[in-house]
Structure 1
Amino acid sequence: MNPVARPPALRTLSALLCPRRRLCGVHAGSGGEGNGSGRSDGGGVRVGGEGEEEGEVGLDADRVPEEVLLRLPTPGRAETDDDDGENLSPGVGSGSRRRLSEELRLEADRIVKILLQDGPGFNTRQALDEMRPRVSNALVRKVLLKIVFSIDSVSHARYPSLAYKFFLWAEQQEGYRHGTSMYNLILKIFAECGELKAMWRLLEDMTEKGLPVSSRTFHLLVCTSGQAGLRRRLVERFIKSSNFNYRPFRNSFNAILHTLLTIGQYSLIEWVHQKMIDEGHSPDVLTYNVVMRAKYMLGKLDQFHKLLDEMGKNGLAPDLYTYNLLLHVLGKGDKPLAALNLLNYMSDAGCVPNVLHFTNLIDGLSRAGNLEACKYFFDEMVKKACQPDVVCYTVMITGYVAAGDFDEAQKFFDDMLLRGQLPNVYTYNSMICGLCVVGKFDKACSLLKDMDLRGCTPNFKVYSTLVSRLRNAGKDSEANNIIQYMTNKGHYLHLLSRFRGYRRC
């Protein structure tokens, strides 16, 4: 393509993605470019979900999740009163900052100890009054964060009431008032413990006090509201609320759409998008990115392309995240020629493809089972001096493992180490799965321990993969050793019951 040629108009981009010619040397095993919805994953193997019993874990189980690759920026402006970090004065020196931080920590520890003594015969409020701490945003945040991080299956019934008791006491102290960020922290504690009714009462309290309600507030509430009907009512309430702290209104809708995307509420995204249009608010690029992703996940590719055309007609150019999504869709649809056209289009439009773009494309093609195309684009990426990172290598390795070509996966793993890229949990999981497939159980167990030694904690799927495959190979003793190893490390003890027939020593 002529480097000085002007890129085609955006309204033709959708047509550009559907070429009639084949890409020579890069083709699918089925003999042509697919027209599927992009929903099928390569390998056709079952992926065990949360709550399933232990069984055969498919090779596709340890792919890098699409959410890691197809990530979107958080919408709207930064919240001045929605930060869970430590907001210390910038004028304080590093020595004074450390001293102040240590004093806060000690004071917060004392407060938490007092709260834990709460019960019959102990007056918590009086004990806090006698302690006479200097109540500030930093101290309240520190106490609430300590409670957040301490919640477990034993404490989840007790901690919400302790946190709320402290929350009420703090607000009654002279010179201090809770802001949005403190409400969000107490909401987070209630969310962790499933206290939905208490969360709604807090929202009512925030509204009565005229406090700005942020996207974090919405996120906490909508993630805890499990019923679709309740979520829709919640969305309606936030759309209508003058306290929802995202203005102009388009940013309010974007904040809601973004949160719904993170929890997979694709149908609700469609509804919110239509509501946004009905109320006369123009979508921006982020809006289109979220809604197109939802259409894609729902398998509505005709509407996906319609939105892409509409985006061009409205004078909006794709951004990096739009291209990420388009390349991934083309990959999963097994359309390497269209992907090549899009990469060239991007370069001509002044948006040079980076490693994330190539990785998204390769991941999609890998899920479609077109490893020849994966290798082609991997080599093209390297030729363009775009160095593959750990995620890109992991996508390649997982693709070959899923296809049963462990030797090629091993080559990529070795090349990755030579280039100084450290494997992550998904890389190790894929390699361990591959070693199990080819019957190299000793190496798989060794790699599991090497993984742990490097500070990369295995997830439960890799443990269950090893155990199930060892048992299928008649190696019950080795399988029990893996379970014991997991137990000794303190990993996933709450999931031990999934290993049928195993009894702890």
Structure 2
Amino acid sequence: MQQQHQKFRRAVSAVACARANSISANARRSRRFDGPGVRRSDPPPRLHRPRRCRPRRPRLRALGPRPASLHPLYVASIRAFARAGRLQAAVDAFERMDLFACPPQATAYNAIMDALVHAHHHHHQAHKVYVRMLATGLAPDLHTHTIRLRSFCLTARPHVALRLLRTLPDRGCHARPVAYCTVVSGLYAHGHPHDARRLFDEMLQGPVFLDTATFNKVLHDLCKKGDISEAAALLAKVLKRGMSVNRFTYNIWIRGLCECGRLAQAVALVKEMDDYITPDVVTYNTLIRGL
């Protein structure tokens, strides 16, 4: 019996050794084909499919810190569209302000009103914007009233503009030379020289200090109309008050004289101008065009 048990144990051990040898051989074979350090029990590596190459959009560099409010950007865009003659784009930019939680302030209303009045065909729409501004509870400032003065003068209503100018102190605004000269030009343009003269004298006698650029606009309107005598009278008044003139004043005056056929006075004015201000190309071109 003992011999039989020993034979059985030897057979079992031989089978176990053979099985162990076969397992080790399979392991060596798997390492040979799968590469070093890879086992059959490890999960197969995932194949990453290449994604479609999409063109990347260039990132815009920030020009500065983000503004606390988008209101100045909207106002700037409205003015830029108006200068480019794109009135509908300016109106669209103004209407989008409420949609993007940026309610318009007084500067935005002034910008769109100025664009509508400057177009010379949308004064009624500009008045609607003014009524809408009042409905929102915003108080019009001096710029708002100056735009309305220009609108009244362009629509042949200079006396309405004059009444508005008289009531500016009651509205909390002190009129500036631009407001006065806007009404003066409107009165001259629509055949009311007496009222224009009286308003101009009132401006010179009051606390309002007339600057050269604003007076040049009035002088240009008179010379363009051909009223040289009235322009000469206003020029004498401002010179008597002590206001200095510049090259633009001389060029406007010379052009008005040339268009009225007063070439001798224009040439004499150029010689007089040479003693104080150096004439430029515009001065000589205007004089040559009038010869």
Is the structural similarity TM-score above 0.5? yes
- In structure 2, C-alpha distance between the alignment counterparts of 1:268 and 1:456, rounded to whole Å: 43
Superposed displacement of residue 405, structure 1: 3.0
- In structure 2, C-alpha distance between the alignment counterparts of 1:285 and 1:359, rounded to whole Å: 23
The DSSP-based 3-state class of the residue aligned with 1:432 is helix
Q: 2:125 matched to 1:303?
A: yes
Give the direction of change, closer, same or farther, for the CA distance of 1:428–1:211 in structure 2 (3 Å limit): closer
State which of 155, 161, 186 in structure 2 corresponds to 1:333: 155
Unaligned runs of 5+ in 1: 1-203, 213-242, 471-505
The residue type equivalent to 2:76 in the other structure is A
Q: 1:350 is matched with which residue? A: 172
Pairing of 1:82-161 with structure 2 (within 5 A): none
Superposed displacement of residue 287, structure 1: 0.2
Superposed displacement of residue 273, structure 1: 1.2
Higher mean displacement: 410-419 or 362-371: 362-371
The residue type equivalent to 2:215 in the other structure is Y
CA contact (8 A) 2:78 2:91 kept: no
The residue type equivalent to 1:448 in the other structure is V
The residue type equivalent to 2:155 in the other structure is G
Superposed displacement of residue 388, structure 1: 3.0
State which of 208, 219, 230 in structure 2 corresponds to 1:408: 230
Q: 2:102 is matched with which residue? A: 281
Q: 2:202 matched to 1:380?
A: yes
CA contact (8 A) 2:117 2:147 kept: no
The DSSP-based 3-state class of the residue aligned with 1:407 is helix
Superposed displacement of residue 371, structure 1: 3.4
Q: 2:92 matched to 1:271?
A: yes
State which of 228, 235, 246 in structure 1 corresponds to 2:67: 246
CA contact (8 A) 2:123 2:151 kept: no
Q: Which has the higher contact order (CA 8 A, sep 6+)?
A: 1
CA contact (8 A) 1:285 1:317 kept: yes
Give the direction of change, closer, same or farther, for the CA distance of 1:210–1:354 in structure 2 (3 Å limit): closer
- In structure 1, C-alpha distance between the alignment counterparts of 2:278 and 2:153, rounded to whole Å: 30
- In structure 2, C-alpha distance between the alignment counterparts of 1:300 and 1:384, rounded to whole Å: 34
Q: 1:359 is matched with which residue? A: 181
The residue type equivalent to 2:243 in the other structure is Q
Per-residue CA shift, 1:3-22, capped at 9, x if unaligned?
xxxxxxxxxxxxxxxxxxxx
Unaligned runs of 5+ in 2: 1-57
Q: 2:138 matched to 1:316?
A: yes
RMSD: 2.7
Q: 2:273 matched to 1:466?
A: no
Per-residue CA shift, 1:77-96, capped at 9, x if unaligned?
xxxxxxxxxxxxxxxxxxxx
Superposed displacement of residue 379, structure 1: 2.5
Pairing of 1:13-24 with structure 2 (within 5 A): none
Give the direction of change, closer, same or farther, for the CA distance of 1:328–1:373 in structure 2 (3 Å limit): farther
State which of 78, 81, 88 in structure 2 corresponds to 1:260: 81
Give the direction of change, closer, same or farther, for the CA distance of 1:423–1:263 in structure 2 (3 Å limit): farther
The DSSP-based 3-state class of the residue aligned with 2:174 is coil
Higher mean displacement: 245-254 or 309-318: 245-254
CA contact (8 A) 1:404 1:434 kept: yes
Give the direction of change, closer, same or farther, for the CA distance of 1:411–1:267 in structure 2 (3 Å limit): same
CA contact (8 A) 1:329 1:364 kept: no
Give the direction of change, closer, same or farther, for the CA distance of 1:396–1:301 in structure 2 (3 Å limit): closer
Superposed displacement of residue 263, structure 1: 4.2
Superposed displacement of residue 409, structure 1: 1.9
Give the direction of change, closer, same or farther, for the CA distance of 1:363–1:408 in structure 2 (3 Å limit): closer
Superposed displacement of residue 341, structure 1: 2.2
Larger radius of gyration: 2
Superposed displacement of residue 327, structure 1: 1.3
Q: 1:491 is matched with which residue? A: none
Q: 2:112 matched to 1:291?
A: yes
The residue type equivalent to 1:281 in the other structure is C
CA contact (8 A) 1:401 1:431 kept: yes
Normalization by structure 2: what TM-score? 0.69
The DSSP-based 3-state class of the residue aligned with 1:334 is coil
- In structure 1, C-alpha distance between the alignment counterparts of 2:260 and 2:79, rounded to whole Å: 42
Q: 2:23 is matched with which residue? A: none
Per-residue CA shift, 1:146-205, capped at 9, x if unaligned?
xxxxxxxxxxxxxxxxxxxxxxxxxxxxxxxxxxxxxxxxxxxxxxxxxxxxxxxxxx56
Q: Report runs of 4+ in structure 1 exceeding 6 Å deviation.
A: none
Normalization by structure 1: what TM-score? 0.42
- In structure 2, C-alpha distance between the alignment counterparts of 1:465 and 1:259, rounded to whole Å: 32
The DSSP-based 3-state class of the residue aligned with 2:97 is helix
The DSSP-based 3-state class of the residue aligned with 2:137 is coil
